[in-house]
Amino acid sequence: MAWIKVANADQLQNGDVIGVHAGQAHIALYRDDDSYFATDNVCTHQYALLSDGYMEDGCIECPLHQATFDIRTGKAQCAPATKDLVTYPVKVEGDDVLVDA
Ligand code: FES
């Protein structure tokens, strides 16, 4: 694990999600309530990128079959996903958003 810069803080507004790479990891980076969160970007159900999904009330909805996951904990909230997402620590240093991946 190592801290890797993945974005500039002003790339995301509250409610935004983007796909980023940190080493080999494909990560969905979220901003909500002026805090940043990171999970795996690939849905645990089949193959879809959560960064193409819809974020609301602290959850991300998969664009393919509409499973939802808590962006803070990665917890799967509803079918068809049953497996939680891996989450990653995030910190902000100045204008840089870093993920420990
Ligand atoms: S691929 Fe995400 S819910 Fe099916």
Q: What separation in Å is there between the alpha carbon of 50 and the centre of ligand 1?
A: 9
Question: Regarding the domain delimited by 3-96, which CATH topology (the fold level of the hierarchy) does it fall under?
Answer: Rieske Iron-sulfur Protein (2.102.10)
Reduced to 3 states (helix: H, G, I; strand: E, B; else coil), residue 5 is: strand
Q: Consecutive sets of 10 residues in the chain, 101 residues long: mean pLDDT of each? A: 94 97 95 97 98 97 98 97 98 97 91
76, HSE (Cβ side, Cα atoms, 13 Å): 15
CA angle 43, 44, 46 (to 5 degrees): 75
Whether ligand 1 lies within 6 angstroms of the CB of 48 is answered as yes
pLDDT at 1: 75
